[in-house]
């Protein structure tokens, strides 16, 4: 293989190889070229997204650490802080779904752990192709099994998430994992190599060949040959992961570590070079000291292996023996594998000789690609929609039941019941609500967390869709009573080298940034996953948003479930539903089309902030936002969650199918005791609201259009997603 074939195989372009020659002043050897290959991959370097990511606001009154470290950190109160981040494992999950999903959980846990925090909650955001397809059903089943298998065994509760299905995700599922950790706000850790002569200690599982060039694989489009890349998928061990968590926290509690970094994409190479670059020092690694589980591994394999459950620590020499003893007590392999040096190089030693040496700043200095942002031609066609072309709806009962049973709208119980969501006994609002709610023991404090994104909206209008994802997360947290404070994200897009993909990425980021600025929710961490394409085309632009909110008093919270008979139903917000981009349009008419309106961010904030005030004042304990499926779906969900019916006698004017099934942002449904209506109206002054009905009975009755028993609704809603398949000779509705 000639040199061009070598660097091309490693994922480097001609211009990138030329830049390496310029930086090094010589031709790199294979090991050095491998270092550049993984560190300059899209997965590690963000070379197509870095300029765009600068648009995100990342400062705020609660922000203690923004982007640039393993995870973001926000202040809670009483000396506590939350550490959180979201990441993707899309390509690995496409070819090895169980291990791909399992290691996504393990990897995001270690990101939070590397900040010195105890992981306390997991969430996810998942996308798959339609369940009629056998391969999609397999991917869906195994991904959920992988998340459950790792999260349940490691002892961190999976408390929330979302899953959607669309043809655009066939063959390229999206598997995004979010972790939240708890730490004292003055003791979180930063990953920097400092102190010449300090030692580098590797501890955790032994190193093998799994995951070699996994970062490069994650930066390629998926093709029929991708199945051959199963060795690029890491293999996780949740029991070793649990020991790693406890060992790391013990070492930090004993003040034995200078700094700590997890080993994820690019393994030792990434961790060591990033710590060196941030600290302004060099690191020398002796690969013969690395504990191995396979014989005959070459130096380049050792340093880029992505074997799981490993951490890298900088340790003062006099504390090294104690660090090794603590690791041994937790039955983990541990060894001093290098030292911090006065130069700025990442040097790899083998047999007493330097077999590779690259200045760490060069590895961190990947080329940046800024491209022209040009709207793609498809937008002109897909945004054309005239609702008047659709016939009037004849059977509202049948339509609501069909909507409720659709995989995008039905109950997710069959998914979240596979997860242990109560381990640790801190989960106070279980999965199925607008957001998960957790307590902080020994205090009145708590936090809420949610993941949100509407890929279909982002496809039809990337900027508006990006803003809508932030707004929906803000609204969902507010419906629990939590104050939204900060965002993490996982930006899942197709190839940035294509006009369509780069426009979607840039426009979604712009929309998200505008929403974050308007709502006061800075982005403190995140991940970018590009090249999510198959030979059939790219996925929908899917900027998954993870948002956290804070409770000063967790006792004052709300859920969507109707609590009492006789409560007044109040619709808060400017109710202007449309069919554009709605679930109704796709389910009932087979269309993904239209121009979903951009969220009114001023109104969004006013409505959500007002709803939070009603909850904290103890007036409201039932709140639910309007989202997929519109007003009718929201009412049905509230009734089913509380096992109490509802009667709505007032529906706004206009086409009633649009009123009941059209979608709108910025609206929340409240159920409030009649005796508290006057207090509620005082707090709602300044925002639009209207009473539309009351709770009670065992039916859902909507202005004479819908009249269904709760038992009928429940039968439609409680679908087992894992049992769904296309009926013989037909398709799923």
* DSSP run (H or E) holding 455: helix 455-460
In this predicted structure, the answer to whether residue 149 has a pLDDT above a threshold of 60 is yes
Q: DSSP labels for 55-101?
A: TS----TTEEE-BTBSSEEEEEETTEEEEEEEEE-HHHHHHSHHHHH
**Mean residue pLDDT across the chain:** 93
- At 58-88, the pLDDT tens digits run 999 999 999 999 999 999 999 999 999 999 9
Please classify residue 18 by burial: count the beta carbons closer than 10 Å to its beta carbon, then call 0-12 exposed, 13-18 middle and 19+ buried.
Answer: exposed
Overall average pLDDT of the 562-572 stretch: 97
- At 162-217, the pLDDT tens digits run 999 999 999 999 999 999 999 998 888 888 888 999 999 999 999 998 877 654 54
In this predicted structure, the answer to whether residue 410 has a pLDDT above a threshold of 80 is yes
In this predicted structure, the answer to whether residue 732 has a pLDDT above a threshold of 50 is no
Residues 466, 107, 486: CA angle, nearest 5 degrees = 35
Parallel, antiparallel, or unpaired: how do β-strands 199-204 and 118-128 relate? unpaired
* pLDDT for res 233: 65
Which of 387, 456, 119, 131 minimizes the C-alpha distance to 262? 119
Winning range, highest mean pLDDT, from 7-21, 238-252, 264-278, 360-374: 238-252
Contact by Cβ (8 Å): 570, 690 = yes
> In three state form, how does the secondary structure of 475-497 look?
HHHHHHCCEEEEEEEEEECCCCC
All structural domains of the chain, each given as residue ranges with its CATH number in brackets, are 60-188+425-442+486-547 (3.30.1330.10), 190-364 (3.90.650.10), 383-414+558-733 (3.90.650.10)
* pLDDT for res 222: 59
Catalytic residue among 43, 213, 362, 694: 43
* pLDDT for res 4: 75
If pLDDT is split at 50, 70 and 90, which confidence band does 731 have? very low
Task: Report helix, strand or coil for 684.
Answer: coil
**pTM of this prediction?**
0.94
Task: Tell which phi-psi region holds residue 214, choosing left (phi > 0), alpha (psi between -120 and 50) or beta.
Answer: alpha
Q: How far apart are CA 671 and CA 619, in angstroms?
A: 10
Helix, strand counts (H, E) of the chain: 26, 28
- At 422-477, the pLDDT tens digits run 998 999 999 999 999 999 999 999 999 999 999 999 999 999 999 999 999 999 99
Strand (E) positions, 577-677? 622-625, 646-648, 668-672
If pLDDT is split at 50, 70 and 90, which confidence band does 100 have? very high
Which of 20, 52, 172, 105 minimizes the C-alpha distance to 504? 52
Q: Does the annotation count 421 as an active-site position? A: no
Q: How far apart are CA 562 and CA 639, in angstroms?
A: 6
Task: Tell which phi-psi region holds residue 211, choosing left (phi > 0), alpha (psi between -120 and 50) or beta.
Answer: left
Catalytic residue among 89, 350, 421, 694: 89
Parallel, antiparallel, or unpaired: how do β-strands 699-702 and 646-648 relate? parallel
Q: How far apart are CA 72 and CA 85, in angstroms?
A: 6
Q: Does the annotation count 89 as an active-site position? A: yes
If pLDDT is split at 50, 70 and 90, which confidence band does 733 have? very low
In this predicted structure, the answer to whether residue 227 has a pLDDT above a threshold of 80 is no
* pLDDT for res 729: 38
* DSSP run (H or E) holding 127: strand 118-128
Contact residues for 689 (Cβ-Cβ < 8 A; gap 6+): 570, 571, 572, 573, 681
| Region of poorest pLDDT, from 558-567, 606-615, 643-652 | 643-652
Contacts 24+ apart (CB under 8 A), 725-729: 725/131, 725/132, 725/134, 725/137, 726/132
- At 345-394, the pLDDT tens digits run 999 999 999 999 999 999 988 999 999 999 999 999 999 888 778 888 88
In this predicted structure, the answer to whether residue 723 has a pLDDT above a threshold of 60 is yes
Contact by Cβ (8 Å): 641, 596 = no
* pLDDT for res 137: 96
Q: Give the other-Cβ count within 10 Å of 595's Cβ.
A: 16
In this predicted structure, the answer to whether residue 1 has a pLDDT above a threshold of 70 is no
- At 501-513, the pLDDT tens digits run 999 999 999 999 9
Task: Report helix, strand or coil for 669.
Answer: strand
* pLDDT for res 221: 59
* pLDDT for res 651: 80
Task: Tell me, rounded to whole angstroms, the distance of Cα 156 from its chain centroid.
Answer: 16
Backbone angles phi, psi at 421, to 5 degrees: -105, 10
In this predicted structure, the answer to whether residue 518 has a pLDDT above a threshold of 70 is yes
If pLDDT is split at 50, 70 and 90, which confidence band does 225 have? low
Overall average pLDDT of the 148-173 stretch: 96
Task: Tell which phi-psi region holds residue 532, choosing left (phi > 0), alpha (psi between -120 and 50) or beta.
Answer: beta
Overall average pLDDT of the 241-270 stretch: 94
Q: How far apart are CA 16 and CA 585, in angstroms?
A: 46
Contact by Cβ (8 Å): 622, 672 = yes
Backbone angles phi, psi at 675, to 5 degrees: -70, -15
> In three state form, how does the secondary structure of 347-380 look?
EEEECCEEEEEEEHHHHHCCCCCCCCCCCCCHHH
Which of 721, 565, 556 minimizes the C-alpha distance to 643? 565
Percent of the chain at pLDDT > 70 equals: 95
- At 615-666, the pLDDT tens digits run 999 999 999 999 999 999 999 999 999 999 999 998 877 789 999 999 999 9
Backbone angles phi, psi at 683, to 5 degrees: -75, -25
Contact by Cβ (8 Å): 512, 453 = no
Q: How far apart are CA 275 and CA 78, in angstroms?
A: 31
């Amino acid at each position: 293989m000639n040199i061009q074939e070598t660097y091309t195989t490693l994922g480097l372009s001609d211009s990138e190889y030329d830049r390496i020659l310029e930086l090094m002043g010589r031709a790199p050897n294979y090991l050095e070229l491998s270092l550049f290959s993984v560190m300059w991959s899209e997965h590690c370097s963000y070379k197509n997204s870095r300029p765009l990511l600068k648009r995100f606001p990342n400062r705020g009154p609660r922000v203690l650490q923004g982007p640039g470290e393993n995870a973001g950190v926000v202040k809670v109160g009483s000396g506590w802080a939350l550490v959180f981040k979201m990441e993707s494992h899309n390509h690995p999950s496409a070819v090895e779904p169980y291990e791909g999903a399992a290691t996504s959980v393990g990897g995001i846990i270690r990101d939070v752990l590397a900040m010195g925090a105890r992981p306390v909650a997991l969430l996810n955001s998942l996308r798959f192709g339609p369940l009629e397809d056998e391969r999609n059903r397999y991917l869906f089943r195994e991904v959920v099994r992988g998340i459950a298998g790792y999260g349940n065994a490691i002892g961190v509760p999976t408390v929330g998430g979302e899953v959607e299905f669309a043809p655009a995700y066939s063959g390229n599922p999206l598997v995004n994992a979010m972790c939240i950790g708890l730490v004292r706000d003055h003791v979180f850790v930063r990953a920097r190599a400092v102190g010449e002569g300090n030692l580098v200690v590797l501890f955790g599982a032994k190193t093998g060949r799994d995951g070699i060039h996994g970062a490069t694989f994650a930066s390629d489009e998926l093709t029929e040959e991708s199945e051959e890349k199963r060795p690029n998928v890491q293999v996780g061990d949740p029991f070793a992961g649990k020991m790693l968590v406890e060992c790391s926290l013990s070492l930090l509690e004993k003040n034995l570590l200078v700094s700590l970094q997890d080993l994820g994409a690019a393994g030792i190479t990434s961790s060591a070079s990033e710590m060196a670059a941030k600290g302004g020092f060099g690191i020398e690694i002796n690969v013969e000291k690395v504990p191995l589980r396979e014989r005959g591994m070459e130096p380049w394999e050792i340093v880029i292996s992505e074997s799981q459950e490993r951490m890298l620590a900088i340790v003062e020499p006099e504390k090294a023996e104690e660090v090794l003893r603590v690791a041994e007590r937790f039955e983990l392999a541990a060894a001093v594998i290098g030292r911090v040096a006065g130069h700025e190089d990442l040097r790899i030693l083998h047999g007493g000789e330097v077999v590779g040496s690259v200045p760490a700043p060069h590895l961190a200095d990947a080329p940046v690609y800024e491209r022209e942002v040009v709207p793609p031609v498809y937008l002109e066609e897909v945004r054309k929609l005239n609702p008047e072309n659709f016939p009037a709806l004849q059977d509202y009962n049948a339509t609501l039941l069909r909507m409720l049973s659709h995989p995008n709208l039905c109950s997710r119980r069959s998914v979240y019941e596979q997860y242990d969501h109560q381990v640790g006994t801190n989960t106070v609002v279980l999965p199925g609500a607008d957001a998960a709610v957790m307590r902080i023991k020994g205090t009145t404090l708590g936090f809420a967390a949610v993941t949100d994104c509407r890929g279909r909206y982002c496809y039809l209008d990337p900027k508006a869709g990006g803003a809508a994802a932030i707004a929906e997360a803000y609204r969902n947290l507010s419906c629990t009573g939590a104050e939204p404070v900060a965002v993490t994200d996982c930006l899942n897009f197709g190839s940035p080298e294509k006009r369509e993909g780069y426009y979607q990425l840039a426009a979604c980021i712009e929309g998200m940034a505008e929403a974050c600025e308007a709502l006061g929710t800075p982005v403190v961490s995140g991940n970018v996953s590009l090249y999510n394409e198959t030979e059939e085309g790219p996925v929908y632009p899917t900027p998954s948003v993870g948002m956290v909110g804070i409770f000063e008093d967790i006792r004052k919270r709300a859920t969507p479930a109707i609590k009492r008979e006789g409560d007044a139903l109040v619709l808060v917000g400017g109710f202007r539903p449309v069919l554009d981009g709605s679930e109704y349009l796709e389910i009932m008419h087979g269309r993904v089309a239209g121009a979903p309106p951009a969220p009114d961010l001023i109104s969004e904030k006013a409505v959500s902030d007002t709803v939070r005030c009603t909850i904290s004042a103890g007036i409201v304990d039932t709140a639910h936002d309007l989202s997929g499926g519109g007003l009718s779906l929201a009412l049905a969900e509230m009734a089913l969650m509380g096992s109490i019916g509802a009667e709505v006698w007032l529906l706004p004017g206009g086409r009633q199918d649009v009123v009941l099934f059209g979608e709108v942002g910025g609206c929340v449904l409240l159920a409030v005791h009649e005796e508290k209506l006057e207090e509620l109206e005082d707090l709602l002054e300044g925002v639009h609201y209207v009473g539309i009905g009351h709770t009670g009975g065992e039916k859902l009755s909507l202005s004479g259009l819908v009249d269904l028993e709760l038992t009928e609704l429940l039968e439609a809603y409680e679908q087992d997603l894992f049992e769904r398949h296309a009926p013989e000779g037909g398709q799923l509705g």
